[in-house]
Structure 1
Amino acid sequence: MSHIMVTAGALDVAVELHGPEGGTPAVLLHGFPDDARAWDGVAPALAAAGLRVVVPYLRGYGPTRYRDAATPRSGQQAALGADLLALMDALGLERALLAGYDWGGRAACIASALWPDRVIGLVSANGYNIQDIAAAARPAPPEQEARYWYQWYLHTDRGVAALEQDRAAFCRYLWRLWSPTWRFTEAEFARTAASFDNPDFVATVVQSYRHRHRAALGDPALQGIEDRLAARPPITVPSMVLHGAEDGVDPPANSAGCARWFAGPFGRVVVPGAGHFLPREAPQPWVEALLAFPR
């Protein structure tokens, strides 16, 4: 799939476009470790329905590049939200539908919470994805702590070296753990694994998981956004939460009470037979949810 490059904030963002230029915009945001291929089952259906579909590669992935060598290689949540807003501004999108999972779901939730006038509707995998960094030192139940092994591993030099020396092996293992019922092919994985060869992938990923646990400083330019997120702002735009029933890193019980963070029209669906890489495994619920919003 061909892409264009869009200068947006701190980045030159690689973006794939589908559908008519005048259609209602829908921005689809991938997670870690993934790329724009996550939406290959979703984007064509939305485009066929008349939407203008925008699928960017997040910072640290694929052809997307930092514009300045001095910019911190930060994967913190404020960076993801700021990147999304900057991309919408650069593309002239006054309002858009937003959909995302994992890192992309975090970006979409942040934009929906902080800049609701820019959002028509939100589809978020796994609930309210804004991190409670102030509470990061509070342990989760042991079962969840074990699921987050990769985050603790990346706090060590050994973990960083493991990701650096064989990014594909590290990420392939996460795909298998997090979506245990999904039988992806090696060719399918390889198409996305090329995006992990981005020169800033490792640094951005490591900073992301260290920052969320208060083990790394953030980008000072983003502190104002982090301060707003620390207040745990509600999401007031119309929202749908999708959660894979077989998610191996973030099981459905984790989003069971998330409705309290959504102050607008809200729904939640647990998708049977699907895991963490939900747009790949079950694209149709995303299509249905996005097309259901008034626009």
Structure 2
Amino acid sequence: MLAHPSTPSSHPTRRIRHLLACALLSLGLMATAACSAASEPAQATATSAERFGPLKHVEAGVLDVAYVEQGPADGPVVILLHGWPYDIHSFEAVAPKLAAKGYRVLVPYVRGYGQTRFLSAQTLRNAQPSALASDVIAFMDALHIQHAVLAGFDWGARTADIVSALWPERVKALVSVSGYLISSQEAAKAPLPPSAELQWWYQYYFATERGQAGYDKNRHAFAKLIWQTASPKWAFDDTTFERSAKALDNPDQVAITVHNYRWRLGLAQGEARYAPLEAKLATFPSISVPTITLEGDANGAPHPPAESYAQRFTGKYAYRLISGGIGHNLPQEAPDAFAQAVIDADHL
């Protein structure tokens, strides 16, 4: 199904009101200010998402996907993928930079975030990696996009890696923060050194019913703690945080987050239809598309060392360490560097 914009100015009732207001003005029956106000409802009432967007929606696979689009409709496509517990505003400064270069930039809310919704109440709230990657393919198909540059961080980087590995014909180039993040349930069984296990404390917390209840009760406080530990030198303000934290109020957020981390530990089942994809991912397939991997010099989240994954990228490849106290949310903390990586990867 084709996307349909949901801008305030495109709403038919508001449009009619505006036309009536201006018609009355021409007859001297309304004040100029009234017509002016009617002609600019977006400026008066727009949410932060609408100022970034506005949000559009498209039915894609099992989802009604909410997304932002910027840039020319006929430009080369870039899809930007966020992670947990973040949202599309991680790319609020990146998207216009790419749009100014002629790219058609698409920034979707992942399942369980923002205004993205499942089309059926009966659909399993599944967040296994191959399901999230399949969402991207369904999103591209729904918008009739044959190939795109994919760029992401956290869950978004893993998803972009998986799409690039399983469907390389759909990916023109890849930008992945923290590099190669494809894994498997079998690999997750191997214990890590205590210091590394400590970094994954929330994964084990979510493995318990207490953890699920605690996250549901304290979503915003939980997210702020993750932001602070993952980006210890990023001095984000409350307005910036709350703008993104609202995406966690999605009714499926807790189920999606908990399933993702429980699945990794083999404590939750996936869906049979994704089993063939997970089997391929368990072989740790190489990625052949042109790729730039990024890392922040102050990333406080668990991440592999660059030398451990370089050989997984068999096409044109470059690694960049972004300095200046840059943490896990690299596109929001260093938008210039992230946008430039997208442009450069597209031209490798």
TM range (shorter): over 0.9
DSSP-derived class of the 1:128 partner: coil
Match of 1:111 among 137, 158, 163: 163
- 2:176 alignment partner in structure 1: 124
The offset of 1:250, in angstroms, is: 2.3
1:200-237 Cα distance to aligned partner (Å, 9 max, x none)? 00000000001011111012222221122112111000
Question: What's the counterpart of residue 142 of structure 1?
Answer: 194
1:40 to partner: Cα distance: 0.8
SS in structure 2 at match of 1:53 = strand
Q: Match for 1:91 among 134, 140, 143?
A: 143
1:286 aligns with 2:338: yes
The answer for the alignment partner of 2:232 in structure 1 is 180
Give the letter for the 1:111 counterpart: V
TM-score normalised according to structure 1 size? 0.97
Question: 4+ residue runs of structure 1 moved beyond 4 angstroms?
Answer: none
SS state at 1:256 partner:
helix
TM-aligned CA deviation for residue 104 of structure 1: 0.7
For residue 260 of structure 1, the aligned residue among 311, 314, 320 is: 311
Native 8 Å contact 2:200 2:302 kept in 1: no
Once the two structures are superposed, what CA deviation does each residue of 1:152-193 show, in whole Å capped at 9, x if it has no partner?
000011111110011000111000010000000101111011
Q: Which has the higher contact order (CA 8 A, sep 6+)?
A: 1
> 1: CA distance between counterparts of 2:302 and 2:186?
20
Distance 1:245 1:38 in 2: 18
Q: 1:80 touches 1:106 (CA, 8 Å); kept in 2?
A: no
Within 1, Cα distance between the matches of 2:208 and 2:306? 29
Quick check: 1:270 aligned with 2:321? yes
Matches within 5 A, 1:210-289: 210-251=262-303, 254-272=305-323, 273-289=325-341
Q: How much does 1:133 deviate?
A: 2.1
Which structure's CA Rg is the greater one?
2
Q: Give, in whole Å, the separation in 2 of the partners of 1:204 and 1:32.
A: 10
Return the offset for 1:282: 0.6
Structure-2 separation of matches of 1:261 and 1:290 = 19
Q: Aligned AA for 1:125? A: V
Q: Which residue of 1 aligns with 2:27?
A: none
Counterpart-to-counterpart distance in 2, 1:170 and 1:14: 24
CA displacement at 1:23 relative to structure 2: 0.3
Whichever residue aligns with residue 190 of structure 1, its letter is E
Sequence identity (%):
44
Counterpart of 1:267 in structure 2: which amino acid? A
Paired residues, what number? 294
Give unmatched runs, 5+ long, in structure 1.
Answer: none
Structure holding more helix per residue: 2
Looking at structure 2, the residues matched to 277 and 70 of structure 1 have their Cα atoms a distance apart, in angstroms, of 33
Q: Which amino acid aligns with 1:154?
A: F
What are the ranges of 5 or more consecutive residues in structure 2 without an aligned counterpart? 1-49
Confirm or deny: 8 A CA contact 2:77 2:105 kept in the other structure.
Answer: yes
Q: CA deviation at 1:33?
A: 0.4
Q: What SS class does the counterpart of residue 130 from structure 2 fall into?
A: helix
